[in-house]
Amino acid sequence: MTGIVSRSFDSADETRPFEGGKGRMDLLNVETGAVGRAVFEPGWKWSEHVKPIAGTDSCQAHHVGYMVSGRMQVVMNDGESAELAPGEFYEIQPGHNAWVVGDERCVALDWVGFVDYAKSPDA
């Protein structure tokens, strides 16, 4: 095991584009697991830009992460909702929809939910 690991998302192990050119998810695979950076462009909505890839009615990923920039509205299947803002930690259980709020690009880091995010179940 290396004492220090430093990697750039600009050289990700895998990049998964969202439908309609509305962003991407960059994944780094490291010894302790995977970490992802998602870039959501204005107008991005899970139900329009990831649902066709995932093939589920709502996002089934469990997310644990940090909002770097932009704002995102998250609505659980039961109606509970929250708006995530820059600098905030978040944990979101499976069963939700989400979308970018406003005209600013949204960037999020996730340590749990991006391993299979925006990945076809057939892949």
User: What are the tens digits of pLDDT across the range 94-103?
Assistant: 999 999 999 9
Number of domains in the chain: 1
Q: Which domain holds residue 63?
A: 9-110
- Encode 46-72: b = buried (16+ Cβ within 10 Å), e = exposed: beebbbebbeeebbebebebebbebbb
The CATH code of the domain that includes 76 is 2.60.120.10
Would 115 be classed as within a structural domain? no
Would 88 be classed as within a structural domain? yes
Residue type at 34? A
User: What are the tens digits of pLDDT across the range 73-99?
Assistant: 999 999 999 999 999 999 999 999 999
Give the residues across from 96 on adjacent strands.
59, 76
Kindly give, in sequence order, each residue whose CB lies less than 8 Å from that of residue 6, ignoring residues fewer than 6 positions away: none
Q: pTM above 0.75?
A: yes
Would 1 be classed as within a structural domain? no
Would 2 be classed as within a structural domain? no
Residue 93: which region, alpha, beta or left (left: phi > 0; alpha: psi -120 to 50)?
beta
Would 117 be classed as within a structural domain? no
Would 100 be classed as within a structural domain? yes
